[in-house]
Amino acid sequence: MPRTSSFVQRALRRLLAGKGGEVRALEQAIHLEGVLRFIGLFGMTMVLPAILLAYFGVASIEVEEQGVLAEVDAEARDTANSFWAALDRRFTNFEARVHDRLESGRSPLEGRGELDPYLLFALRFSEEGELVAPFVLDPTVASPAVQLLFEPAYQSAVAAEDAGDLAAAARLYAEAGRAVGTPAALGRARFDRARLLAAGGNPQGLLDLQAVADEFGPLRDPWGMRLGDLARLRRAELLLQRDPEAGALALRGLVEELLSTPWVLHEGAESAITTRAISTLESTPQREWASGARARASERHAMLFWATELWTELTAQVNGPGPLRTSPGSLQWRQGERALWVTTWWDNSYLVFALDLEAIVGGLKAEARANTGAKGTIHAWVAPRTEAVPPSALAVKNLSPYLGDWSLVVAPRDIDALRAASAARRNERVAVIGIALSMIVLGAVLTIRLIKRELDVARMKTDFAASVSHELRSPITQIRLKGESLLLGLTDTDEEREMAYQDIVRESERLSRLVDNVLDFSAIERGAKRYTLRPGDLVETVYRAIDSISSAQEVIDKELDVDLPPDLPEVAHDADAVAQCVINLVSNAAKYSSPGGWIGVRGRVVEGGVEITVSDKGIGIAAHDLKQLFEPFFRSRDALARRRKGTGIGLTITRYIMVAHGGDVFVQSKPGQGSTFTLRFPPGPPEGIDSGGPLKE
C-alpha cells in the first residue's frame, strides 16, 4: 500500500516546487519534514519546559521577597523557643539527676560534676536548720588556745628547737602548757613534746602521740588544727620511716576518715592535713590509691572554698522570702547575686545546691551568639531584665523560673541585612533558573555528542568487521593458493615446494595471531580474561616473542635490531600475555615502516621497574591521534596510515595486559620520524597472583 504524504510534506512541496522541480522539491520536503519533526520534538521536550521553568521561577521571586520579613519573624520565634527549650531541658535534666540520687539512696553531695558542670557545691541542713554535711559549723574553732603562742616558755621552746636542742625544747613545751593551763594548750604542748621525742628516736614519742590523739583529739590548737588529726599525721609519718607498710596504712586510714567526716566551714585545717597525708602517700606503694583520693580531696576543697565564699548569700537565700518547706523532692530555683540556688526537702533534710551564675549566664550568651551566627539576618543576646528592650525586637523570652532576672532578646541585625537577604534570595532563584537552563542546554549538547559518539562507535565496529574480514581473507587465500599448488603438482622443484610449505606455515601463524587477538579482545570485553603473574626471565619471554614474529610476512623484510641486557631483573608476568604485547608492537612497527625499515627492541632498568621499548623509523603518529590510540577499534584518520591493514584492537589488548600487570604502555611519536612504544613493568606481585578484569575504555 503506497504511503500517503503528510500535510506538512505537501505544503513544503508546494513551497519549494518553483525552485528545482517536483522531484527536487519532494526530496527537500522529506528532509525538511524530518528536521522540523526533530525541532518540534526538541521544542516540546526541552525548550517549552525551560520557558515554563523560567516564567514560574521569575514569578515566584516577588512572592519570595514578600515572605522574607515573615520568615525572619518566624526564625526569631523559633530561635527563642528552641533556646528556651534547650535551657529548660538542661535544668530539667539536673532535677532528674538529683531525684535519681535521692531515690536510689546515693548522696547528691558527691560527684558534683556528674550533676552539672556548673555546680559549685551542695549542702545538707537538718530540719532545725543546722549544717550537717559535707561541712559543719564548729564554735570551738572561734576560740583557739592562741594565748599559748605568747607564753615566754613556748617562745623559748621554739627557739631551742630551731637551735637543735630537742631535749630543752621538749621540757619548755611542757612548761608552757602547764603555765597556760587550758586543755587545748596542754594538748598542744604534749603534742610538741611527743613530736620532738619521736624525732629524736625515743620510742616513747610514738606512744605519747597516740595518747595525745586519744585524750585531746577533738580540741584545736592555736592554728585551728584538731590535735587528734595532727598527732595521727605525725605518728604515721614517723612510723612510715620505720615500718613503711604500717605507716602507709595509718596515713590511708587518716585520709579515709577525714574524707568521710564533715569538715569545718570557714576553716582549712582538715583540707591541709588531708593534702599533706596524700602527698606523703604518693611516694609510697599506695600512690595509685592516693591519686584517687587526691581527686576526692580536691573536689571537697573546691566545695569548701565556694561554700565559704557564698555563705553570706546562702544564709540570705535560706532565710529569704517564700516557703522553706515544700513537698519532698520538689526543687525550688532562686537567683542570687553570684549563684543560682536550688533547694529541696528530702528525708527531713534541707538540701541546697549552688550553681555558678556567672558561668551559666556567660555560657548562655555564647550559645545565643553561636545560634544566630555573625552573618545571619537576626541576632540574639541574653540581657538583664532591667535593660530596655529595643523597639525592633522580634521576640523576648524571659528565662523564668530558673533565671528570672534574665531574658533572651531576638532582633533583626539591621534593615540593610534584611534587604541583603532579600537580594540574596532573588539572586539565588535567578541562579537556580540559570543553572537549570544551562543544564538543559548542556544536556542537549551532551545528547548530540553522545549520539555522535555512538555513531562513531558503530562506524568503527563496521570498519572493524570489514578489517577483520579483509585480514582473514588474505592469509586464507595464501594458504589456499599454496595448498592447491602443492596438490596439483604446480611446484616443480624441492625448493619451490619448501617455499610453499613455509608460506603456508607463515600465513597460518598470521591467521592464528589474528584469531587470538579477536578472541582475547572478546574475553576482555566480557571481563573474563585473567592472567597468572609469576616471577620469570623477561628477556627470555621477549626473545621468544621475537622468534615467533620474525618470520611473519610484514617483518621478514625489516631490519630487526634486538638488544636486551642479560642481567635484567626477574619480573612477575604472564609470559604468553607479554609475548603477545611484544608481537603486537613489532607487528605494528613493521606495518607502518617502509620496506627495509629498522625496528629496534631494547630493555633497561628504571626506577621502580623494568622497561621494554619497541621503536621504528616509520611514518609516525599524528598528535591528534595519540590520545585515542589505545581505544578499541580506533584507526588513524591519516590517509597514509589507513592504507595499512589492521583491526584496531592490538594496542587495546596491549594496554589491558600491561594494566593487569600493574604497569602501563606509553608512546612517543613524531610524524615522519617514527614511533617508540614502551612497556613498563613495576616490581610484580608474588607468585600465583591472578590479575585481570573488564576492559576500561
Which pLDDT score, from 0 to 100, does residue 46 have? 65
Q: Give yes or no for a contact between 460 and 648, defined as CB atoms under 8 angstroms apart.
A: yes
Residue-wise pLDDT tens digits, 580-615: 888 888 888 888 887 778 988 998 888 878 888 999
Q: Which segment of 347-351, 488-492, 524-528 scores lowest on mean pLDDT?
A: 524-528
Which of the residue ranges 45-59, 472-486, 491-505, 647-661 has the most confident prediction, judged by mean pLDDT? Answer: 647-661
* Of the candidate ranges 122-131, 252-261, 473-482, the one whose mean pLDDT is the lowest: 473-482
Domain closes at, from 293, 309, 325:
309
Final residue before a domain boundary, out of 309, 329, 360? 309
Q: Which of 160, 232, 227 is nearest to 196 (CA)?
A: 160
Q: Omega of the bond prior to 134 within 30 degrees of 0, cis?
A: yes
Our count of domains for the chain comes to: 2
pLDDT digits (tens, 9 = 90+) for 640-695: 555 555 566 777 878 888 888 888 888 988 888 888 999 988 875 544 444 554 44
User: What is the pLDDT confidence band of residue 551, given thresholds at 50, 70 and 90?
Assistant: low
Quick check: is 657 in a domain?
yes
**Residues 615/676, Cβ–Cβ less than 8 Å:** yes
Integer Cα distance of 216 and 191 in angstroms: 9
Kind of pairing, strands 131-133 and 119-125?
antiparallel
Confidence of residue 275 (pLDDT cuts 50, 70, 90): very high
Task: Express as a percent the part of the chain with pLDDT over 70.
Answer: 70
Domain assignment of residue 556, yes or no: yes
Mean per-residue pLDDT over the chain, rounded: 77
C-alpha cell at 78: 523559633
120 inside domain: no
CATH number for the domain harbouring residue 683: 3.30.565.10
Most confident of 78-92, 475-489, 515-529: 78-92
- Residue range 277-283: average pLDDT? 89
- pLDDT of 319 higher than 80: no
Quick one: cell of 671? 610524524
Q: Does 346 reside within a domain?
A: no
Strand order in the sheet with 530-536: 571-573, 530-536, 689-692
Residue 41 lies in a domain: no
Q: What is the pLDDT of residue 687?
A: 46
207: in domain: yes
The pLDDT value given to residue 182: 84
Specify whether the CB–CB gap between 343 and 334 falls below 8 A: yes
Could you give the CA distance from residue 92 to residue 104 in angstroms, rounded to a whole number? 18
Tell which wins on pLDDT, 149 or 492.
149
pLDDT value of residue 689: 43
Poorest-confidence range of 66-80, 137-151, 588-602, 605-619? 137-151
Q: Could you tell me if residue 364 is inside a domain?
A: no
* pLDDT higher than 70, residue 572: yes
101: in domain: no
> Which domain CATH number covers 188?
1.25.40
CA angle in degrees (0–180, nearest 5) for 537-541-544: 140
C-alpha distance from residue 160 to each of 155, 182, 199, 208, 368 (Å)? 9, 23, 15, 21, 66
Q: How confident is the model at residue 374 (pLDDT cuts 50, 70, 90)?
A: low
696 falls in which pLDDT band (50, 70, 90)?
Answer: very low
* Mean pLDDT on 76-96: 88
Residue 437, pLDDT > 80, answer no
The residue segments making up the domain with residue 630 are: 508-692
End-of-domain residue from the set 257, 291, 309: 309
Q: Which three cell numbers stand for residue 135?
A: 561541712
Is the pLDDT confidence value at 457 over 60?
A: no
The DSSP-derived string for 486-519 is HHTT---SHHHHHHHHHHHHHHHHHHHHHHHHHH
- Which residue, chain included where needed, has cell 589474528? 514
User: What does the alpha-carbon distance between residue 158 and residue 167 come to, in Å, rounded to a whole number?
Assistant: 12
pLDDT in the model for residue 322: 53
* Per-residue pLDDT at 373 exceeds 80: no
d(CA 430, CA 319): 66
pLDDT at 515: 65
**534 vs 52, which has greater pLDDT?**
534
In angstroms, how far is the first alpha carbon of the chain from the final one? Answer: 47
pLDDT digits (tens, 9 = 90+) for 107-135: 888 888 888 899 999 999 888 888 888 98
Q: Are 194 and 169 in contact (CB under 8 A)?
A: no
Residue entry with cell 599448488: 485
Quick: pLDDT tens for 157-188: 889 888 888 888 888 888 888 888 888 888 88
pLDDT at 697: 43
- At residue 306 the predicted structure's pLDDT band, cuts being 50, 70 and 90, is very high
Whether residue 444 is predicted with pLDDT greater than 80 in this model: the reply is no
